[in-house]
């Protein structure tokens, strides 16, 4: 039986960026406000589990990924790795073991790769910087293994190539190989296939799924694409303006969503709209508001066709709406609206 205990846990995680308050604000050192990129996120990821973090751009999903990869510092809450508090860990020696075990893959492979580095050097870089190999023979072996696991075969054919000599799919595979080289236990993949052609997407997703099967590696898959999330993930967490509004199994979130925002996301998706059991809901209106101007009450209320008075005053907590299924919406609980659900639209 593979170990499925939590490898990572976020508790009430907050990332607020201060907004400078003009000349006087700067002189007095007073911020004019804050961008609430992440605002009280609770999330756990089991060993070998694939969790998709889904949301529109501006929802805060990349910020959450960067905090987990220790590329951004939270302003509140805790980040626990195997139960150990890593929230304020800083510096090379404190972070070295963590960086070996948690890696991040970025959306834009072209930017992620140094154009002057060969494929060999790009993949070897984390092994060298984390001092994980003792000699060149070991380095070559680990680079070859990683390239091969990422689907670049025979690996030796790619060693001396530069990023501009590769296709988009091959570049993304090199980025994945760089993350794999250190044999991580958790990968944070931020929109890893959104810039690739459809046919290449499937191959890259297969590489990620194979890694879980072979090494029980956990994956946080960040995407704006709900069908893609359903395809790859065990669970889906839906983020809106820095808050998790719904989390559950990939099937529940995709085919039995309980939060109006998730229903709207689903109904905006032609692939899933073809499902006969879909719930009708008007299309999403407008755009995600700025995280610097988070509305009072439920953050989704300005765009929610079901909003009622309470939604404008009080932020709903996440409540259990099914087995392992949580939704942050007043509908099922609120006075005269108790029992109402998105299905009644």
CB nearer to ligand SF4: give 120 or 261: 261
Contact residues for 24 (Cβ-Cβ < 8 A; gap 6+)? none
Rounded Cα distance, 114 and 249, in Å: 38
What DSSP designation does 166 have?
Answer: S
CB of 130 to ligand SF4, least distance (A): 44
- Of the candidates 83, 96, 75, the one whose C-alpha atom is nearest the C-alpha of residue 18 is 75
Q: Which residue has the tokens 């609430």?
A: 36
Q: Find out whether 261 and 222 touch, Cβ atoms under 8 Å.
A: no
Which is nearer to ligand SF4, 218 or 331 (by Cβ)? Answer: 331
For residues 201 and 196, what is the distance between their CA atoms, to the nearest angstrom?
A: 6
Helix, strand, coil % in the chain, rounded to nearest 5: 40, 25, 40
DSSP-based three-state secondary structure for 289: coil
Task: Match 């529940």 to its residue by tokens.
Answer: 252
Q: How far is the CB of 331 from ligand SF4 (least distance, A)?
A: 5
Task: Kindly tell me which of 169 and 260 has the beta carbon lying closer to ligand SF4.
Answer: 260
195 vs 307 by CB, closer to ligand SF4: 307
Kindly tell me which of 70 and 259 has the beta carbon lying closer to ligand SF4: 259
**What is the nearest approach in angstroms of ligand SF4 to the Cβ of residue 342?**
9
CB of 332 to ligand SF4, least distance (A): 9
Supply the minimum distance, in Å, between the C-beta of residue 299 and ligand SF4: 8
Helix, strand or coil for residue 2? coil
The distance of closest approach from Cβ of residue 329 to ligand SF4 in the complex, given in angstroms and rounded to an integer, is: 3
Cα–Cα distance between 345 and 343 in angstroms, integer? 5
Q: Hey, what are 62's tokens?
A: 């990349």
C-beta closer to ligand SF4: residue 146 or 331: 331
**DSSP single-letter state for residue 21:** -
Question: CB of residue 146 vs ligand SF4: minimum separation in angstroms?
Answer: 44
Residue 51 or 264: the one with the smaller Cβ distance to ligand SF4 is 264
Give me the residues that bind ligand SF4 (CB under 6 A), please.
Answer: 259-260, 298, 300-301, 304, 306-307, 311, 316, 329-331
């Amino acid at each position: 039986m593979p170990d499925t205990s939590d490898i990572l846990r976020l508790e009430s995680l907050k990332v607020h960026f201060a907004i400078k308050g003009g000349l006087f604000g700067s002189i007095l050192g007073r911020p004019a406000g804050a961008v609430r990129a992440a605002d009280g996120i609770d999330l756990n990821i089991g060993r070998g589990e694939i969790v998709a973090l889904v949301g529109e751009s501006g929802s805060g999903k990349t910020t959450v990924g960067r905090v987990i990869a220790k590329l951004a510092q939270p302003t509140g809450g805790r980040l626990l790795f195997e139960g150990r508090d890593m929230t304020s860990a800083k510096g090379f020696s404190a972070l070295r073991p963590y960086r070996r075990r948690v890696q991040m893959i970025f959306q834009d492979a072209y930017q992620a790769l140094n154009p002057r580095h060969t494929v060999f050097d790009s993949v070897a870089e984390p092994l060298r910087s984390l001092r994980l190999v003792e000699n060149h023979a070991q380095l070559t072996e680990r680079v070859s293994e990683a390239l091969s696991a990422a689907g670049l075969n025979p690996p030796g054919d790619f060693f001396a190539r530069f990023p501009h000599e590769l296709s988009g799919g091959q570049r993304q595979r090199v980025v994945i190989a760089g993350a794999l080289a250190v044999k991580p236990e958790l990968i944070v993949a931020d929109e890893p296939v959104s810039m690739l052609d459809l046919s290449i997407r499937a191959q890259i997703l297969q590489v990620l799924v194979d890694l879980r099967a072979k090494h029980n590696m956990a994956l946080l898959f960040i995407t704006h694409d709900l069908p893609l999330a359903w395809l790859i993930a065990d669970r889906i967490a839906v983020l809106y303006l820095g808050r998790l509004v719904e989390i559950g199994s990939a099937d529940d979130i995709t085919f039995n969503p309980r939060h109006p925002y998730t229903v709207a996301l689903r109904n905006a998706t032609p692939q899933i709209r073809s499902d006969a059991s879909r719930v009708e809901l008007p299309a999403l209106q407008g755009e995600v508001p700025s995280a610097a101007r988070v509305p009072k009450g439920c953050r989704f209320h300005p765009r929610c066709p079901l909003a009622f008075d309470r939604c404008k005053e009080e932020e709903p907590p996440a409540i259990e709406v099914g087995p392992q299924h949580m939704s942050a919406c007043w509908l099922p609980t609120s006075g005269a609206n108790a029992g109402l659900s998105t299905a009644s639209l």
